[in-house]
Chain A
């Protein structure tokens, strides 16, 4: 089967989360994947989006890591002793759990960004879950250092799994790297204003749209922005009006792309 000449730019925000999403969204992404494979459409990953995604993952790791370091300090203080005591003797019991809970609650309040708050919430669950898993083996008296070590291993393993998941997804979709596009090279002030009026202000999506507009204008591509994000999808008319970029639900993106391709389009510029 001959490959189509025009291209589609999937919403990486959705694509990279394939392995962990809710069943409903996971199914949606699988259907999207199957559609583009069936139609043999080339998918490109914008380098801009790739960089942003990397920065986000690192920020999440950092927020979680700092929370763990804070927990170490909190437990050292709670046990009323310095490091050597903690290393050799300190144990956690059921009585320490309210203090741990309080620590995480305070930590969440100090976070600026929702994503970091989410990460710390996860760590709180891990903290309790890990204690419950360990308490039977240690007769309810869990060595602090083993406990903290296990939490840190879990956090790092989570990072490893995230990175593996990204590789799997990029490969499943046969994503190719596109030329780097600076999202600031195209003015989308009017679009931003119009979207702000309806309460949409996701900078990542706006950068993405800006890149797609540039590629459409300068390379003659036919971009279709496939998304599972409801908020973005509901703004599709405004986005099309200001940029000519088609936003489509991931479920229908491939067929929309196909129907768009049937229309006569100007020859792609060199």
Chain B
């Protein structure tokens, strides 16, 4: 996260009242504090790191890694839901276009889809190429299986990193522009005003986020369409809405 925060801060122009180094230190401290408060999550992260696929990888370690990724995926989904509740509340106390908040929610759902995909794809890959290989373990084959796993994950992982960075940068710009001090930034400003944000930068980051999100979702859909399944039932007003959209007029 150290590098992630540095890169994000360097890629945006922050208000002059903030010092990038202090802000970076604050973000790192906040992360450490939140991990310390959440013992279960902290252990989960440590264990994922411990069981990270490296050759030679024991079968038990591979199984443990799959199990941990599943737990992580569930945790990310729960945290995403909490974040979406915060976004829902923030959206009321703001005059920033509502679509920014909706895209943020969409981003959080997509992040949780990706973790679910990663857990599923990892499980499938290691079961087929590692755990179910019979007979005496063929070391070159196992080594290749690990290499193939990383090759398989690399493109989507790269897109995912780009997505979360663009989402973070946009959020950082909005909140920093509306905060007078690090203290206010930490607490969260009372009101998120569009006027306080540098318009050019805001539009550029919002477009970047929207495009990254769209591209990532299309890619992820190709890999695991099941994640984008419909909700059990759409209610009546929603159905009416779509019925009306058929008869849509662009301009009246």
Contact = CB atoms under 8 A, between A and B. Distances in A.
Given A20-B234, A114-B244, A118-B244, A152 B252 contact: no
Interface in B142-159: none
Interface stretch (A57-65, A186-194, A235-243): A57-65
Interface string B218-252: 10010001001111001111111111111111111
Interface residues of B, number: 44
A66 B89 contact: no
Nearest to B218: A167
Contact of B248 (A56, A64, A72): A56
Nearest to B102: A159
A159 B106 contact: yes
A228 B246 contact: yes
B230 A19 contact: yes
B142 to A, nearest CB: 35
B85 A158 contact: no
Nearest to A55: B250
B92 interface: yes
Contacts of A103: none
A207 B249 CA distance: 12
B87 interface: yes
A156 interface: yes
Contact of A122 (B102, B221, B237, B249): B237
A13 B248 contact: yes
Interface in B82-99: 84-85, 87-89, 91-93, 97-99
The main secondary structure of chain B at its interface with chain A is helix
Interface string B73-114: 000000000001101110111000111011001100100000
Given A69-B92, A145-B89, A231 B247 contact: yes
A196 interface: no
Contact of B244 (A58, A72, A115, A228): A115
B92 A163 contact: no
A161 B251 CA distance: 25
A260 interface: no
Contacts of A163: 106, 217
Given A25-B246, A119-B241, A121-B240, 9 more contacts: A20-B241, A20-B243, A52-B250, A58-B99, A115-B248, A152-B87, A161-B238, A204-B249, A231-B247
Interface of A: 13-14, 17, 19-22, 25, 52, 56, 58, 60-62, 64-66, 68-69, 72, 83, 112-115, 118-119, 121-122, 125-126, 129, 145, 148-150, 152-153, 155-161, 163-165, 167-168, 171, 201-204, 207, 228-229, 231
14 contacts: A21-B242, A22-B243, A64-B98, A65-B98, A65-B99, A115-B248, A118-B245, A121-B237, A122-B240, A126-B237, A156-B91, A163-B217, A168-B225, A201-B249
